[in-house]
Amino acid sequence: MKTYINFYEDPLFFPKGGEGYGWKFSNYAAAFSALKIFREGREIMAPEMLLNSLLYAGGSGVVSVITACLASYILAKYSYLKWVRGLWVIVLITNYLPISSSLAANIKLLTDLGLYDSLLGVIFWQCGAFGYIFLIYYATWKSVSWSYAEAAFIDGAGHFRTMLLIMWPMTRTIFGVLFIQQFITLWNDYMTPIIYLPSYPNLSYGAYQFQFSVADVNIATPPIQIAGLLMLALPVFILFLIFRNKLMGSLTLGGLKG
């Protein structure tokens, strides 16, 4: 919120008063209007990039956590089955075996499936079910007693209904925390839109390009560029304020009655 001159004279402390100084709230308006990308002869402005960010981060975050939740539940609670134990070995290999040079293969796969440069396609592509989200949820399921499920089976509930109505509600805090973590990660992700969604740039991609905005000397100043980056961080900050109690909460399981 400083002027160009005030920033270079004193970049650490509050803006000074006087002519050519003062609080420049207009830096945010200037950054918002300058946050744009040109794609295929079309100018994509900040509101459209904001929508792309919400769809990409929200949709991909939901499906990645849901698939990890389901996969980890099967491996954690049905490990007495031989095929599940075999699948667990495959999961460990895919999580820890380094796989490089997969970019070209991923692009070809998405192109062959007709999912390249498609928001819906990339969201489905996030249904990998594994990774750190899977490992955290796997440990969570291991801490939930199977006696709850056995009681539900006695009452006539099936496996899916038991998981959805009995077991999953006890891990809703973990689900919410993992979703918010994944949302923040995807919100700040600009490489995936650059590579797989060239027609759907998000705000992170716009902020990445914004730092190279040197055509307009009034925009290519540190105060305005920092204001643009703060606008990118603002939705994540608001999300934390809304769900801070859930994030700070812990999974609490009650006792079992005989």
pLDDT digits (tens, 9 = 90+) for 114-131: 888 888 888 888 777 777
What are the CA-CA distances from residue 112 to residues 56, 60, 116, 199 (Å)? 21, 21, 8, 18
Reported as a single tens digit per residue, the pLDDT across 40-52 is 777 788 788 889 8
Structural contact between residues 174 and 12, judged by C-beta atoms closer than 8 angstroms: no
According to CATH, the topology of domain 46-94+103-248 is MetI-like fold (1.10.3720)
Residue recorded with tokens 């809703």: 172
Instruction: Give the residues across from 24 on adjacent strands.
Output: none
The reported pLDDT for the residue numbered 258 is: 39
The reported pLDDT for the residue numbered 91 is: 78
Mapping DSSP onto H, E and C, the string for 16-60 reads: CCCCCCCCCCHHHHHHHHHCCEEECCEEECHHHHHHHHHHHHHHH
Return the domain boundaries, the chain.
46-94+103-248
Reported as a single tens digit per residue, the pLDDT across 208-225 is 777 776 555 566 677 887
Mean pLDDT, the chain, rounded, equals 80
Residue recorded with tokens 């949302």: 183
Residue 243 reports pLDDT greater than 50: yes
Query: In terms of C-beta density within 10 A (0-12 exposed, 13-18 middle, 19 or more buried), how is residue 75 classed?
Result: buried
The reported pLDDT for the residue numbered 253 is: 40
What are the CA-CA distances from residue 176 to residues 32, 213, 239, 252 (Å)? 30, 37, 12, 14
